[in-house]
Amino acid sequence: MAIGPSALLSDVNANADAAFNAYNTSFLVTSANTQYYKEALNVPSKDYFWRQALDIQMVEDVFLRTKSSAHRTLITNLLNTFLQQNQGSGGLYHWNWNEYNDDLQWAGIAFARGYQITGNTTFLSQAQYAFNRL
């Protein structure tokens, strides 16, 4: 018996949802007004700068598939927390402490995509900051 494309897509979506939910159960930390992914199962500290950016891009990929308002909210929370946790001596939006161009670009991509998804102009400004640091 042949399985149609819609049945296959349904199965793929169910598996993707299960994987994402399991990842969040294991790694997503929610504390007061912050949300971030921790470094490892047994390490409660936040992921390092570029890994945080890639974590956020994962959620952005999930949103592109689901268009879920809950995922949009998670993206907003993750990006706002990223700004709080990674500020430099120039203030909240400065990453002057990070000298690695690839780190800045991973973050810039996460913020540019975050702007596209949420319309939050702070995220656009932060993406521009990251790209202009090169």
Q: Give pLDDT tens digits for 119-133.
A: 999 999 999 999 998
Domain count, the chain: 1
Within a domain: 19 = no
Q: How far apart are the first and last CA of the chain?
A: 56
Cα(123)–Cα(22) distance, integer angstroms: 27
Confidence of residue 118 (pLDDT cuts 50, 70, 90): very high
Within a domain: 63 = yes
Within a domain: 85 = yes
Question: Residue 120: which domain range?
Answer: 49-133
30: β partners? 35
Which tens digits make up the pLDDT trace of 73-104? 999 999 999 999 998 877 667 888 888 899 99
Task: Pick the closest to residue 17 from 86, 66, 83 (CA basis).
Answer: 66
What's CA 86's distance to the chain center, in Å?
Answer: 14
Q: What is the pTM of this model?
A: 0.91
Within a domain: 54 = yes
43: β partners? 40
Residue the block writes with tokens 């939050």: 120
Within a domain: 29 = no
Within a domain: 79 = yes
